Structure 1
Amino acid sequence: MRLLHITATHLNLAGGIPVVLRDLVSAQNTIENFEARVLSIKADTSAMNSEFFDFLGDETFEEYIDNYKPEVVVFHSHYYFEYLRFYRNLVKRNIPYFIEPHGSFGKAALQKSRLKKKIANGIILRTFMKKAQGYIFLNKVEKSDAQFTTNHDLVIPNGIDGEKIVRKICPQEPWSFYFIGRFDKSQKGLDILFDALEMLDKKRETVSVKLYGKGTDEEVSNINHRISNLHSVTVINCGPIYGDEQLSAIEQCGVMLLTSRYEGFPMTVLEAWKYGNPCLVTPGTNVADEIVENGLGWKTELNAEDIAKTISLGLSEYSQQRIEYINRCKDYVREKYDWKEIAKLSLVQLSKGGL
């Protein structure tokens, strides 16, 4: 099979989709008779440091397609009007394509900028979506929550590099809760998380939280303002971290907090498990039930009172069973989400996806 991934997003190591594409396409190309490439239509690919990434640049899409001759194409995310120029060319050439929405088809996601998305999906992108062979979801929960579906939808999760999992148990002291990601208070639920932390602060509970990420000047200012109002709860804005710095900071460091209103399949959860860190999450992350069923953390509803109670519960249980949580997270993610296995699954799924 000759597969082409198409992306119109930025390409830097701070973003989830670029890193996912880099690791997925690398694993796909290790499989016999499976060739895969990523075509970036907007951003230069040098930062990805991958032989499987191409930048369209001055070449026309028609020339690229005629040279590479893909048998199937996957568009990553779909709110890029640039894709409208390309899908028509694929239809003319009878090349099937899938759309991978990365969480944007869910109920909560569609409520953000609701009118704009209604116009985009109902008018501008309607034919692009209708002509797709199907949609690719990151897990069954995202698929069941999707407001748009077809008869040929697939489920292909994100993954991790199992070979980079640290085998040695070396928990950091002292441990802390942490958040890593964009300081998007709406999607990530940081507004409600801080409401919960303020409730714990009023009860004079001792909780330590580290925030790793970045946002707009306004978002960072808001975060710092809310931090300044806390006393017994200690929150530190550590800024963004990447690569080896992330490994050093997060490896076996504590419990990850992700109180999102909506997600596709958050890479930060897989990364947390890889580092041996259980997660405290809301249903909007799409992994809450999986986490509870496999003893990988805690589920909380998206309200301040429940988040505060669950943080207290996590504080107690993690302190008592820390080594067990570390081992369970590492073993689980290594067994179920190694990129090699995800790549094999992608070949099977795409091969039977109504092509």
Structure 2
Amino acid sequence: MNILFISHLCGSSFAGPTYSVPKQIEAQATIDNIFWYNASAKGKEEWKSLPYYHDLTEFPDESIYSLPEPFNKPDIVIVEQFYNMARSNIRKELVKGKIPYIIIPRGELTNQAQMRKRMKKSLANIFMFNKFARNALAIQYLTEQEYIDSGDRWNSKHIVIPNGIDMPATAKTEFSTDGIKCVSIGRIEPYQKGLDLLIEACSLIKGELSKANCTITICGPDREGKLETLKEMVVEENLQEIVLFHDAVYGKDKEKMLLDSDVFVIPSRFEGHPMALIEALSYGLPIVATTGSNMKKEIDEYDAGWTAECDSKSIAQALMKMIENFENMKKYSRNSIELSKQYSWKLIAKLQKEQLHSILNRDKEK
């Protein structure tokens, strides 16, 4: 199958798609004929060494029809993300042409995400994006919860294929004996990431967290300039010994941070399918996660941690359960690793191929 991947990635180190999209394409390239067209001139240097990677420096027209055969008429186009196609000629080609395509919005179509910059998105949807979504052969969601939170109003046809991971060479073997070290890794975006809810939850059970010598280290880049506001919240609630802040961590530094921690905490209000969460699972960290992480069902089924609704009281209850069950951490750790195995990139690529064949066959039968 000749698959054309379209993206608009500039390689931002804090953006999840910077990591998930290249890995997805790499896995798919082992079983399909792939052309990755990144409609940007700011991609990461390491991408340019990939045999299937191309960008605006090679093909500046930003047009599918200007690409070499057979990718000027591919079997299918996979559009990575949604609103980054606002200024792209390719979006117009796909809507007007007869090129089959699917869209992977990566959380952008959920009701929660639509509330951010609501008026701007509403107008953009009316004039550009509703038609773009409707004309797709399907919308590809990363989790069933992402689909539920997005609904059928964009397109009644959908598939669910998650992100994947490369299993690490090492994992947790021992846990702290003099306290509990929790970590949360992601952008410092208080609303989406639910960091305000986490601080409020810690305030509700401050005494219990202190007694358990529990710390929660929040790692990430201050993308919205809200770090100082969060630090002020921590001071106001007298949580300086419990809630800590750390710069963003990547690569080996992130691996060390995970292996040095006991529990991964993700209090998000909404996500697509967070890579940081499934990476933490693969290292054997039990998880404290909200419904907004889109992994609550799976974590509960595998008994890989403790889950909560997207409110501070529920998060506080999950943290209390974590403290009460800390002696069973090795059991939760084994369960986390078992859950992470469901997200092998090799399995994801095979599932993607099967689903694309099914979508194309269904389209031919019309």
User: Hey, what does 1:332 align to over in structure 2?
Assistant: 339
Residue 150 of structure 1 aligns with an amino acid whose one-letter code is N
Take 2:147 and 2:183, find their aligned partners in 1: how far apart are those partners? 28
Shift of 1:194: 0.8
Take 2:38 and 2:26, find their aligned partners in 1: how far apart are those partners? 16
Partner SS, residue 220 of structure 2: strand
Partner SS, residue 182 of structure 2: strand
Q: Deviations over 1:136-167 (max 9, x none)?
A: 101112112213343431111101013x2425
User: Hey, what does 2:60 align to over in structure 1?
Assistant: 59
Residues 231 and 88 of structure 1: is their aligned pair in 2 closer, same or farther, counting only changes over 3 Å?
A: closer
Shift of 1:82: 4.0
Residues 172 and 249 of structure 1: is their aligned pair in 2 closer, same or farther, counting only changes over 3 Å?
A: farther
Check if 1:150 corresponds to 2:148.
Answer: no
User: Hey, what does 2:272 align to over in structure 1?
Assistant: 264
User: Hey, what does 2:286 align to over in structure 1?
Assistant: 278
Shift of 1:168: 6.8
Check if 1:223 corresponds to 2:230.
Answer: yes
Q: Deviations over 1:79-98 (max 9, x none)?
A: 12446511332456522111
Structure 2 residue ranges without an equivalent (≥5): none
Residues 68 and 278 of structure 1: is their aligned pair in 2 closer, same or farther, counting only changes over 3 Å?
A: same
Check if 1:253 corresponds to 2:241.
Answer: no
2:2–2:70 CA contact under 8 A, matched in 1? no
Q: Deviations over 1:47-82 (max 9, x none)?
A: 444503221235222312656332211112211244
Check if 1:41 corresponds to 2:39.
Answer: yes
Identity of aligned residues (%): 25
Residue 63 of structure 1 aligns with an amino acid whose one-letter code is S
Take 1:78 and 1:207, find their aligned partners in 2: how far apart are those partners? 40
Q: Deviations over 1:254-273 (max 9, x none)?
A: 11111111111111110110
Partner SS, residue 226 of structure 2: helix
Residue 123 of structure 1 aligns with an amino acid whose one-letter code is F
2:139–2:158 CA contact under 8 A, matched in 1? yes
Take 1:259 and 1:157, find their aligned partners in 2: how far apart are those partners? 20
Residue 59 of structure 1 aligns with an amino acid whose one-letter code is P
Take 1:167 and 1:315, find their aligned partners in 2: how far apart are those partners? 21
| Mapping for residues 66-105 of structure 1, pairs under 5 Å | 66=69, 68-69=71-72, 70-82=74-86, 84-90=88-94, 94-105=98-109
Take 1:167 and 1:262, find their aligned partners in 2: how far apart are those partners? 27
Shift of 1:101: 1.1
What TM-score do you get using the length of structure 2 for normalisation? 0.88
Residues 36 and 172 of structure 1: is their aligned pair in 2 closer, same or farther, counting only changes over 3 Å?
A: farther
What TM-score do you get using the length of structure 1 for normalisation? 0.90
Shift of 1:351: 0.9
Residues 90 and 281 of structure 1: is their aligned pair in 2 closer, same or farther, counting only changes over 3 Å?
A: same
Partner SS, residue 187 of structure 1: helix
Residue 18 of structure 2 aligns with an amino acid whose one-letter code is P
Take 1:101 and 1:38, find their aligned partners in 2: how far apart are those partners? 17
User: Of 119, 123, 144, which residue of structure 2 is paired with 1:119?
Assistant: 123
Take 1:277 and 1:128, find their aligned partners in 2: how far apart are those partners? 40
Shift of 1:183: 0.8
Take 2:45 and 2:71, find their aligned partners in 1: how far apart are those partners? 22
Shift of 1:188: 0.8
Take 2:214 and 2:174, find their aligned partners in 1: how far apart are those partners? 22
Take 2:97 and 2:239, find their aligned partners in 1: how far apart are those partners? 63
Partner SS, residue 160 of structure 1: coil
Residue 28 of structure 2 aligns with an amino acid whose one-letter code is Q
Take 1:227 and 1:37, find their aligned partners in 2: how far apart are those partners? 48
Structure 1 residue ranges without an equivalent (≥5): none
Partner SS, residue 243 of structure 2: strand
Q: Deviations over 1:191-212 (max 9, x none)?
A: 1111111222266544211111
Shift of 1:292: 0.8
2:199–2:243 CA contact under 8 A, matched in 1? no
Check if 1:352 corresponds to 2:350.
Answer: no
Take 1:196 and 1:291, find their aligned partners in 2: how far apart are those partners? 20
Residue 67 of structure 2 aligns with an amino acid whose one-letter code is Y
User: Hey, what does 1:241 align to over in structure 2?
Assistant: 249
1:84–1:128 CA contact under 8 A, matched in 2? no
Partner SS, residue 192 of structure 2: coil
Residue 344 of structure 2 aligns with an amino acid whose one-letter code is D
User: Hey, what does 1:306 align to over in structure 2?
Assistant: 314
Count of residues in Structure 1 that have an aligned counterpart in Structure 2: 350
Take 2:97 and 2:123, find their aligned partners in 1: how far apart are those partners? 28
Partner SS, residue 67 of structure 2: helix
The worse-fitting range, judged by mean Cα deviation, of 338-347 and 243-252 is 243-252
2:286–2:336 CA contact under 8 A, matched in 1? yes
User: Of 137, 142, 148, which residue of structure 1 is paired with 2:141?
Assistant: 137
Residue 294 of structure 1 aligns with an amino acid whose one-letter code is Y
| Mapping for residues 170-249 of structure 1, pairs under 5 Å | 170-171=174-175, 175-201=180-206, 205=211, 206-216=213-223, 218-229=225-236, 230-231=238-239, 233-249=241-257
The worse-fitting range, judged by mean Cα deviation, of 243-252 and 337-346 is 243-252
1:201–1:232 CA contact under 8 A, matched in 2? no
